[in-house]
């Protein structure tokens, strides 16, 4: 039972709610772009995994959630954190390892959590979240709060045993859980079309006794609708749902990833599919909001309360290598890769013919209507 929902409803959200949703997505985008820039300076310790391009998924789901509800995320968790209401300033501080960070510097990018806001944490373990969300949903059910648990996981985690066990358990115990498979096409450097044996991750839902839905992840409203139905079902004791969100991530698996496994899909996505652009197009077309309102909200999101904190230290001037690095030190290599990425993000060598063919095949699946399963 997999359906692809075409989205055509912009009318269920009032202008304020629409602006709030836009602001959420815009904040995530700006936050991630900023981290992308800052990471290139070499000052952020460890790894970061950026969510840019995927904002509609986090925003479209989280707009339905309140403090009763709990969310578990992945290593690519900044977007979910922001959408659930974690303070971006504290998040940025945490990414830098500061004591003022959400976890006092003890967790870092991959473990940002705010239990008071029902954010069970970004998780460094692929597939770590779904079982925990079964527990959170169980607690909500036993405590009678009416709350739900939402497990975000990626196409990589969709193959992890923990995820599959959690899907089964959620059905067996009839838990108020929503499983959101964010299929951005790659699990690290491996295409999901190769690693996921089924045509769609959502096809697996039937095997676990729950409804499965596919949505266009670049379309806020498509996500919004699918999430509304699933969350409603959960709140009313109807059990779990699996939502597969299809889109792409604009950056690498981690910052520093050369992304040699990709073609030029990012440039095209940014141009024609981008969720912020489409949202703007939709709401202005239906006349619910005007461009200047969206722009002003942008301005507000660059204001003090939602912007990531200013740079903790001045950016040192760093010589850019003009030729490939010959140094074998890992740090030097990372720095060289990072600086190349920041200045050459959109000027890679073009994709090979093979890459082009596989990209086309991938795109076709992406926008397809349901296949019989």
Partner 1 sequence: MERDESVIVMGEDNAGGMGSPGEMDAWGGVLGVTKGLYHKFPGRVLDTPISESAFIGAAIGAATRGMRPVAELMFIDFMGVCFDQIYNQAAKFRYMFGGKAVTPVVVRTMYGAGLRAAAQHSQALYPIFTHIPGLKVVVPSSPYEAKGLLIQSIRDDDPVIFCEHKMLYDTTGEVPEESYTIPFGEANVAREGGDVTIVAIGRMVSVALEAADELASSGVEAEVIDPRTTSPLDTDTILESVENTGRLVVVDEATPRCNMATDISATVAQEAFGSLQAPIQMVTAPHTPVPFADSLEDFYMPDAQKVVNAAKATVGWKR
- Inter-residue contact 278 to 224 (CB < 8 Å): no
Distance in angstroms between the alpha carbons of the first and the last residue of the chain: 7
* Segment lying near partner 1 (by CB under 8 A), choices 79-87, 100-108, 219-227, 345-353: 100-108
* 114 near partner 1 (CB under 8 A): yes
Q: Taking CB under 8 A as the criterion, which residues in 59-98 touch partner 1? A: 70, 72
> Among the candidate windows 46-54, 110-118, 325-333, 357-365, which touches partner 1 by CB under 8 A?
110-118
Alpha helices (runs of H) in the chain, residue ranges in sequence order: 15-39, 55-62, 78-84, 88-95, 129-143, 161-172, 192-195, 204-207, 220-235, 265-268, 275-285, 291-301, 330-344, 353-366
Q: Which residues of 175-197 are buried (b: 16+ CB within 10 A; e: fewer)?
A: bbbbbbbbbbbbbeeebbbeebe
C-alpha to C-alpha distance for 213 and 204, rounded to whole angstroms: 10
Contact region with partner 1 (CB under 8 A), list: 159-167, 229-237, 254-262, 364-372 = 159-167
Supply the minimum distance, in Å, between the C-beta of residue 103 and partner 1. Answer: 4
Identify the sign of the CA torsion 119, 121, 127, 133: negative
Cβ-based nearer residue to partner 1, 81 or 283: 81
Q: Which of 333, 342, 334 is nearest to 315 (CA)?
A: 342
Tokens standing for residue 165: 């066990």
Q: Do the Cβ atoms of 34 and 302 come closer than 8 Å?
A: no
Q: Which of 9, 43, 138, 228 binds partner 1 (CB under 8 A)?
A: 138
Residue with tokens 């659930």: 84
Strand partners, 186: 191
47 near partner 1 (CB under 8 A): no
Q: Of 1, 6, 66, 106, which one interacts with partner 1 (CB under 8 A)?
A: 106
**Residue 109 sits in the site that holds partner 1 (CB under 8 A):** no
- Count of positions on this chain that bind partner 1 (CB under 8 A): 41
Among 20, 139, 269, 337, binds partner 1 (CB under 8 A): 139
Which of helix, strand or coil describes residue 150?
strand
Could you tell me the smallest distance in angstroms from the CB atom of residue 79 to partner 1? 19
Name the residue nearer to partner 1 (CB basis): 5 or 91.
91
Per rule CB under 8 A, is residue 128 in the interface with partner 1? Answer: yes
CB nearer to partner 1: pick between 175 and 276: 175
Q: How many CA atoms lie within 13 A of 215 on its CB side?
A: 32
One residue of 74, 123, 248, 359 binding partner 1 per CB under 8 A: 123
> Between residues 72 and 275, which has the closer beta carbon with respect to partner 1?
72
54 belongs to the binding site for partner 1 (CB under 8 A): no
Residue 256 Cβ vs partner 1, minimum distance, rounded to whole Å: 22
**Span interacting with partner 1, options 165-173, 228-236, 276-284, 342-350, rule CB under 8 A:** 165-173
103 binds partner 1 (CB under 8 A): yes
- Which is nearest to 115 in space by CA: 98, 132, 130? 132
Task: Please name the residues in contact with 248: beta carbons below 8 A apart, sequence gap of 6 or more.
Answer: 53, 184, 185, 265, 266, 269
Positive or negative, the CA dihedral 224, 230, 236, 240 is negative
Cβ pair 226, 219 in contact under 8 A: no
Rounded to a whole number of angstroms, the minimum distance from the CB of residue 140 to partner 1 is 7
Using CB under 8 A as the binding rule, the residues of this chain from 168 to 187 that contact partner 1 are: 168-169, 172-173
Distance CA 83, CA 103 (A): 18
Here's the x/- map for partner 1, 302-341, by CB under 8 A: it reads as ----------------------------------------
Q: Is position 352 an interface residue for partner 1 (rule: CB under 8 A)?
A: no
Among 20, 43, 47, 131, contact with partner 1 (rule: CB under 8 A): 131
**Contact positions toward partner 1, by CB under 8 A?**
70, 72, 101-107, 111, 113-116, 120-121, 123-125, 128, 130-136, 138-140, 142-143, 149, 161-162, 165-166, 168-169, 172-173
């Amino acid at each position: 039972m997999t359906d692809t929902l075409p989205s055509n409803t912009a009318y269920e959200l009032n202008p304020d709610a629409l602006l709030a949703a836009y602001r959420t997505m815009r904040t995530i985008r700006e936050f991630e772009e900023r981290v992308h820039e800052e990471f290139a300076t070499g000052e952020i310790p460890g790894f970061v995994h950026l969510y840019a391009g995927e904002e509609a998924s986090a925003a479209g789901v989280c707009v339905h959630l309140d403090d009763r509800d709990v969310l578990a995320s992945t290593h690519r968790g900044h977007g979910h954190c922001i959408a659930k209401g974690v303070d971006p300033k504290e998040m940025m501080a945490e990414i830098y390892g500061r004591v003022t960070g959400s976890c006092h510097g003890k967790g870092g990018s991959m473990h940002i959590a705010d239990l008071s806001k029902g954010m069970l944490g970004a998780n460094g373990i692929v597939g770590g979240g779904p079982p925990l969300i079964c527990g959170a949903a169980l607690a909500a059910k036993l405590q009678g709060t009416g709350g739900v648990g939402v497990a975000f996981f990626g196409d990589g985690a969709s193959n992890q045993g923990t995820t599959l066990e959690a899907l089964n358990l959620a059905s067996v115990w009839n838990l108020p859980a929503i499983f959101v498979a964010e299929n951005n096409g790659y699990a690290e450097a491996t295409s999901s079309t190769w690693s996921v044996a089924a045509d769609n991750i959502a096809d697996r839902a039937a095997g676990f006794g729950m409804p499965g839905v596919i949505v266009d992840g670049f379309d806020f409203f498509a996500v919004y609708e699918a999430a509304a139905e699933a969350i409603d079902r959960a709140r009313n004791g109807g059990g779990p749902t699996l939502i597969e969100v299809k889109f792409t991530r604009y950056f690498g698996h981690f910052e520093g990833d050369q992304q040699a496994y990709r073609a030029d899909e990012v440039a095209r996505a940014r141009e024609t599919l981008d969720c912020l652009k489409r949202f703007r197009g939709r709401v202005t077309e239906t006349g619910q909001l005007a461009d200047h309102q969206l722009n002003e909200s942008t301005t507000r999101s660059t204001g003090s309360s939602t912007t990531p904190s200013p740079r903790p230290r001045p950016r040192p001037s760093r010589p850019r290598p003009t030729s490939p690095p010959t140094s074998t030190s890992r740090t030097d290599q990372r720095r060289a890769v990072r600086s190349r990425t920041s200045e050459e993000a959109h000027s890679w060598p073009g994709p090979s013919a093979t890459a082009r063919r596989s990209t086309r095949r991938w795109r076709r699946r992406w926008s397809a209507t349901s296949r019989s399963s």
